[in-house]
Amino acid sequence: EVQLVESGGGLVQPGRSLRLSCAASGFTFDDSALHWVRQAPGKGLEWVSGISWNSGSVVYADSVKGRFTISRDNAKNSLYLQMNSLRTEDTALYYCAKDKTIAAAGYFDYWGQGTLVTVSS
Amino acid sequence: DIQLTQSPSSLSVSVGDRVTITCQASQAISNYLNWYQQKPGKAPKLLIYDVSSLETGVPSRFSGSGSGTDFTFTISSLQPEDIATYYCQQNENLPPWTFGQGTKVEIK
């Protein structure tokens, strides 16, 4: 069974940093691209960032480019999102999502339960 | 960026009814259109990818169609467990990959 378990969320002040983690199991980790997708409270879904199987391709939404960094450790079956210079508009539930492909093609076939990030003073 | 507009934003239907949701893209997106189901308090679930391909394990009452800029998602006979918000999503070419604003399906 595919499992994705996010952690690292919490309450943080504007301008500060936070690092999210996603622990994966139940599939061949380095056969899949991975993504972060977020959902602000009561709102829709917004794709944030994606990374290919070997970290050779990383992509970001314009709203986080230059502030967020996605990375993965295939030896630890883990995905990360380093979030710097956080803004109030980054407040959301952050989901880790698996891609159907190795190349970060934008198909989100499995999702974790999310970790909540609240940016507030 | 490619914008997706879903309609309606919400609908109230009876068990057994046919449900149809449309998704219009701001430009042609070939076959790169997917549909997700999100139940309250849960993560989204991929139901249909590439316009009409049913994800493994998804009941056949769910279907998708369309091309170019206009796409349709259908539940042939609504079941109580289908109460959810449904999102279309495009993955045409390069990111950003965008979602529609969602359609909330409720029981009448």
Pairwise CA distance, residues A117 & A11, whole Å? 6
User: How far is Cα A11 from Cα A81, in angstroms, rounded to an integer?
Assistant: 16
Dihedral of the CA atoms B85, B105, B45, A64 (nearest 10)? -10
Distance CA B15, CA A117 (A): 37
Residue A117 CB neighbour total at 10 angstroms: 21
Distinct helix (H) and strand (E) counts, chain A: 0, 11
Nearest-by-Cβ selection for B87 from A44, A59, A109: A44
Rounded to the nearest 5 percent, the helix, strand and coil shares of chain A are 5, 50, 45
For residue range B55-103, list pLDDT tens digits in order.
Answer: 999 999 999 999 999 999 999 999 999 999 999 999 997 889 999 999 9
Whole-number Å distance between alpha carbons of A60 and B68: 25
Which residue does chain B place closest to A108, by CA atoms? B46
CB A45 to CB B46 under 8 A?
no
Cβ neighbours of A36 (radius 10 Å): 27
Cβ contact (<8 Å) for B96 and A95? no
Mean pLDDT of the region B12-36: 96
- Which residue is closest to B85 within chain A, CA to CA? A44
Interface check A108 vs B, CB under 8 A = yes
CA-nearest of A79, A7, A62, A61 to A70 is A79
The predicted-structure confidence for A10-69, as pLDDT tens digits, reads as follows 999 999 999 999 999 999 999 999 999 999 999 999 999 999 999 999 999 999 999 999
